[in-house]
A and B are shown apart, each in its own frame.
Chain A
Amino acid sequence: MKLRLISMITALFFAMPAAQAVPPIQQATLPNGLSVLLMEAHNVPMLSMTLVIPAGSAFDAKGKGGTATMLAGMLADHTARHDHISWADMLDQDAIQLGAGAGQDTLSISLTVLKDALTPGLDAFSELLKQPGWNKKRFAIMKQDTLAAAQKEKEEPGVQAAQAAVELLFGDHPYGHRPSGTMESLATISLNDVKSLFARQVKPSGAVLAVSGDITLAELLPLLEARLADWQGKPAQMLTDIPQPTALAGLSKDVHMPTSQTMVQLNRLGAARSDAAFFPVFVLNHMLGGGGFGSRLMEEVREKRGLVYGVYSYFSPLAVAGPFVISLQTRADQATQAEDVVRTVLAEMAAGKISKDQLKASKENLIGSFAQRLDSNRERVELISMIGIYGLPLDYLSSWTQHVEAVSLDEVTAEAARFLKPESWNRIRVGSKLD
């Protein structure tokens, strides 16, 4: 088959200090609109790849939270050509690791193979994508098991808190349910719902295939073209169709569970992936509670007072603003004290009490640990797919440390005023003594 590339290969490589050198990301677009991103790594004869498609739980039909996750499960389970048994045997025969999953924005299909099993691996990958099986019996079994798993999950305070948080923060917005759904929403999902999501959203145009491993773009493209040329179409909705959520503040919800600890989570809307101040917010969160030891919350709540094992913060930079969360667990009678400490830290930082030294320490930690973020093909693929699906520049990784380095105290202070005012946060508590 003849290759007709819409855009030719572009490779960007910015001059970097030797210690941080990151291999360039090469990009190509297949005629069907699928964007291919590759980072070469020839030290181990293996490849990892992930196809990300705007078909995450944000595209679940109303009241049917969990549809995208069920779709991922069905796609990975069997195909029209292979029942679940022959499919599993075939993949295991060549040690092909092939799976699928769903987040809020995207559905992803991931493949990890030895280089010598690339051909059967790609064959299986394209079969999964182009020839779904939709076996009714398998769907019934999967649904029953998913429902049981959803019930089992309710034993975890973190799951209960996350469920309460999405409902509180997002309500009817497409982010208003967890990707795995609830027992109630899962019960309403039919095979037709799953097929319909596939038919609407699983299309090459706007999708991204991220690859890391022992291959060149010249080798990879003909293999993809041969298998994916007849996969055509454009999804009904794009990530840009996800509406902006409305900010809510000062709300509170308690969930009762028979635990000895109380989980306290404060939440609010965070920054979208495309936020102009992404790096300042990223560094701010690292200083607040994203950086483990050395973060303000860890210092105040754990190191100084011994109230918790862990206290952390994170924000989910999605297509639009996802949740910004601060979470801790402590013995029930210490929960109020711990929450007060968190609120004091928030108030101080929002008021601009951030020192140059703290900023420097956070930046050093982030830059120093950057190599660990890229430690394996699978970790690289995750980052590359994120770059592709959110349209970030191809030099994102090679210029990452420069972007962190460039964040100024003024910028961080401005973002602290924007995000950390205590009254702008909501609260979820999970536990047995919630007075």
Chain B
Amino acid sequence: MLFRLTTLLMLLSSLSVFSAHAGQLQQAEFKNGVKLIVEEDHSAPVAMVQIWLKVGGRDELPGKTGLAHVFEHMMFKGSKKLGPGEYSKRISAMGGNDNAFTSNDYTAYFETVPSHRVSEVLGMEAERFANLRLRDEDFQKEIKVIMEERRMRTEDDPNSRMFEELSAASLRLHPYRNPVIGWMQDLEKLSIEDVKAFYNKHYVPGNAIVVVVGDVDFAEMEKTVAKTFGRLKAKPVSPRFNPVEPEPFGPKRIMVEVPAQLPMLAVTVPVPVWKPGENDREAAALALATHIMAGGRSARLSREIVDAQRKAFAASAGYDATAMGLDLWYAYGLLGPGQKPEAFEKALWALIDDMASNPVGEKQLKAAKRNIIAANVFAQDSLYLRAKEIGHMEVVGLGANNRDNWLEQIGKVEPADIQKAVKRWLKQERSTTGLLKPEVKS
């Protein structure tokens, strides 16, 4: 029934016992560069439609941060054929809302609809994609809304503020140094001309991927997309902005002193992302190392640093092997009354050093692998998550066909690989440390 599931279960079965069914990922490319990916699933009469764009915060020019995210707002302001408000009304009548997300690497718009309405949705999506109405009066209102969004998410949230500052301090060239929502100083200067220029440059067919997961027929979808997105005029596609980040010359340190209740200490380290066929073992080892530190119930950060050593009241870490160019690996600890940042920092590096020096137990490694694969199986029961994984793998350039390859690579990792990857990349001299220090009122 589901090809994807079959592979996942086979992967699991190398660790335990399983049986499986079949079906698969079907793809088509149109002359103008639009790509269609369909995963049929006829278990319920609904479908998830997602339009993915190879444009995100990383593609903004200096001084224009926040532009990619502006579209998440402007795309609901109408097009040539659909007047302002009409687009929203029609999407709303199909059960949709402001369904969109923007990251550093991509922008995506999505709808869950009864299967028979998929072609209608695709028609509307193609229409606004090609003929977006970009009026200054709408922009002036939306940019105010976005500033309120930034105040809410960042300015008034000490932890977000600290991570924004830390990212900016950690990297010199790579665009992950800029917040997706944009710096307030840039937001204040953006104009409708900037918005139009960005739209003309990036909202081109060659940057669009149509993902449909659910109760649809691939051949039908191919016809529908040919009549909608496939008809858009081809335009040149600019390469993604993906500079090589210079190697750090030594540890960096910042402090963010803002009103807060309790301190937080966070550490970032630039690490490689997955390049299939090039660094499979290393990227998979980093993912497993991070899972062993921060994933599941037996996470070492919680077990050792929080529960046993009492150096923080919560601690975690994260790594995204599917980022673009590099990933900013991070770990943080939330510190309670009497818990000292220096002590947490010391404990964190002691744990990382231990992972570099000593092999992880076979049992622990097996559990980590099983949990990563099981999480993928659990995600298969959500059309939203399935489409999101396909779209994400495509826009970052890995390709949706590599989804299972990644899990196969996870399966191959041995304890020595983890030691090697941690030793090579998670080094204090490559790190940036940030401390959120609660402001003391005089």
What's the nearest-Cβ distance from chain A to residue B16, in Å? 6
Partner of A46, one of B113, B298, B314, B377: B377
Contact with B along A185-203 (1 / 0, CB 8 A): 0000000000000000000
Partner of A372, one of B89, B112, B159, B373: B112
CA distance A294 to B95 in the complex (A): 11
Partner of B46, one of A19, A94, A258, A305: A19
- Are A361 and B98 closer than 8 Å at their CB atoms? no
- Are B380 and A44 closer than 8 Å at their CB atoms? yes
Stretch at the interface among A85-93, A219-227, A413-421: A85-93
- Among residues 340 to 360 in chain A, which have CB atoms less than 8 Å away from a CB atom of chain B? none
Residue of B nearest to A112 (CB): B378
Residue of B nearest to A360 (CB): B93
Give chain B residues whose Cβ lies under 8 Å from the Cβ of A67.
none
B405: interface (CB < 8 Å) = no
- Are B313 and A116 closer than 8 Å at their CB atoms? no
A43: interface (CB < 8 Å) = yes
Give chain B residues whose Cβ lies under 8 Å from the Cβ of A309.
145-146, 148-149, 152
What's the nearest-Cβ distance from chain A to residue B5, in Å? 6
Give chain A residues whose Cβ lies under 8 Å from the Cβ of B115.
19
A331: interface (CB < 8 Å) = yes
- Are A116 and B116 closer than 8 Å at their CB atoms? no
- Are A368 and B314 closer than 8 Å at their CB atoms? no
Q: Which of B157, B260, B371 has most A Cβ within 10 Å?
A: B371
- Are B145 and A145 closer than 8 Å at their CB atoms? no
B296: interface (CB < 8 Å) = yes
- Are A376 and B382 closer than 8 Å at their CB atoms? yes
A333: interface (CB < 8 Å) = no
Contact A371 B95, CB 8 Å, known A44-B5, A306-B141: yes
- Among residues 190 to 228 in chain B, which have CB atoms less than 8 Å away from a CB atom of chain A? none
Give chain A residues whose Cβ lies under 8 Å from the Cβ of B371.
92, 95
- Among residues 349 to 371 in chain B, which have CB atoms less than 8 Å away from a CB atom of chain A? 363, 366-368, 370-371
Contact with A along B136-147 (1 / 0, CB 8 A): 000011101111
Give chain B residues whose Cβ lies under 8 Å from the Cβ of A89.
298, 363, 367
- Are B297 and A91 closer than 8 Å at their CB atoms? yes
- Are A145 and B306 closer than 8 Å at their CB atoms? yes
- Are A88 and B313 closer than 8 Å at their CB atoms? no
- Are B152 and A376 closer than 8 Å at their CB atoms? no
A255: interface (CB < 8 Å) = no
Give chain B residues whose Cβ lies under 8 Å from the Cβ of A116.
16-18
Give chain B residues whose Cβ lies under 8 Å from the Cβ of A56.
none
CA distance A389 to B17 in the complex (A): 36
Stretch at the interface among A150-158, A264-272, A276-284, A318-326: A150-158
CA distance A20 to B114 in the complex (A): 8
What's the nearest-Cβ distance from chain B to residue A383, in Å? 15
CA distance A107 to B367 in the complex (A): 29
- Are A361 and B93 closer than 8 Å at their CB atoms? yes
Contact A260 B151, CB 8 Å, known A19-B114, A369-B112: yes
Give chain A residues whose Cβ lies under 8 Å from the Cβ of B142.
306
CA distance A330 to B385 in the complex (A): 32
Residue of A nearest to B146 (CB): A309
- Are A367 and B367 closer than 8 Å at their CB atoms? no
Contact with B along A366-393 (1 / 0, CB 8 A): 1111111001110000000000000000
- Are A144 and B297 closer than 8 Å at their CB atoms? no
CA distance A155 to B112 in the complex (A): 35
What's the nearest-Cβ distance from chain B to residue A333, in Å? 12
CA distance A88 to B295 in the complex (A): 11
What's the nearest-Cβ distance from chain B to residue A181, in Å? 16
Partner of B93, one of A95, A365, A372: A365
- Among residues 386 to 413 in chain A, which have CB atoms less than 8 Å away from a CB atom of chain B? none
- Are B156 and A261 closer than 8 Å at their CB atoms? yes
- Are A259 and B378 closer than 8 Å at their CB atoms? no
Contact with A along B98-135 (1 / 0, CB 8 A): 10000000000000111110000000000000000000
B158: interface (CB < 8 Å) = yes
A63: interface (CB < 8 Å) = no
CA distance A13 to B141 in the complex (A): 48
What's the nearest-Cβ distance from chain A to residue B331, in Å? 17
Give chain A residues whose Cβ lies under 8 Å from the Cβ of B158.
155
What's the nearest-Cβ distance from chain A to residue B207, in Å? 25
CA distance A157 to B156 in the complex (A): 8
Give chain A residues whose Cβ lies under 8 Å from the Cβ of B251.
none
Give chain A residues whose Cβ lies under 8 Å from the Cβ of B2.
43-44
Give chain A residues whose Cβ lies under 8 Å from the Cβ of B116.
19
Residue of B nearest to A377 (CB): B381
Give chain A residues whose Cβ lies under 8 Å from the Cβ of B41.
43
Give chain B residues whose Cβ lies under 8 Å from the Cβ of A79.
none
Q: Which of B43, B89, B298, B335 has most A Cβ within 10 Å?
A: B298
Contact A261 B44, CB 8 Å, known A148-B337, A308-B145, A369-B112: no
Give chain A residues whose Cβ lies under 8 Å from the Cβ of B141.
303, 305-306
Contact with A along B257-268 (1 / 0, CB 8 A): 001111000000
Partner of A369, one of B89, B96, B339, B382: B96
Residue of A nearest to B73 (CB): A309
What's the nearest-Cβ distance from chain B to residue A212, in Å? 9
Contact A375 B112, CB 8 Å, known A85-B303, A147-B336, A365-B95: yes
Contact A293 B88, CB 8 Å, known A18-B45, A93-B363, A114-B377: yes
Partner of B298, one of A88, A114, A156: A88
Q: Which of A85, A309, A367 has most B Cβ within 10 Å?
A: A309
Give chain B residues whose Cβ lies under 8 Å from the Cβ of A45.
5, 9, 18, 377
A84: interface (CB < 8 Å) = yes
Give chain B residues whose Cβ lies under 8 Å from the Cβ of A375.
112, 382-384
B155: interface (CB < 8 Å) = yes
Give chain A residues whose Cβ lies under 8 Å from the Cβ of B96.
365, 368-369
CA distance A332 to B9 in the complex (A): 54
Contact A293 B382, CB 8 Å, known A21-B45, A148-B262, A369-B112: no
Q: Which of B1, B370, B375 has most A Cβ within 10 Å?
A: B370
- Are B114 and A371 closer than 8 Å at their CB atoms? yes
B168: interface (CB < 8 Å) = no
- Are A148 and B313 closer than 8 Å at their CB atoms? yes
CA distance A42 to B145 in the complex (A): 44
Give chain B residues whose Cβ lies under 8 Å from the Cβ of A84.
307
B97: interface (CB < 8 Å) = yes
Question: Can you list 29 contacts pairing A with B, beta carbon distance less than 8 Å?
Answer: A18-B45, A19-B114, A19-B116, A41-B43, A43-B2, A44-B377, A46-B377, A46-B381, A89-B363, A92-B371, A93-B363, A93-B370, A95-B367, A116-B18, A144-B336, A151-B336, A260-B155, A261-B152, A291-B97, A293-B88, A293-B98, A294-B88, A309-B146, A361-B92, A364-B92, A367-B95, A368-B92, A368-B96, A376-B385
Binding site for B on A (CB under 8 A): 18-21, 41-46, 84-85, 87-89, 91-95, 97, 112, 114, 116, 141, 144-145, 147-149, 151-152, 154-157, 257-261, 291-294, 302-303, 305-310, 329-331, 361, 364-372, 375-377
Q: A46-B381, A369-B95 are in contact. List 4 more A-B contacts (CB 8 A).
A: A114-B374, A152-B262, A309-B146, A368-B93
Which 10 A/B pairs are nearest by Cβ-Cβ distance? A368-B95, A148-B336, A95-B374, A369-B95, A88-B297, A19-B114, A309-B149, A306-B141, A306-B144, A148-B313
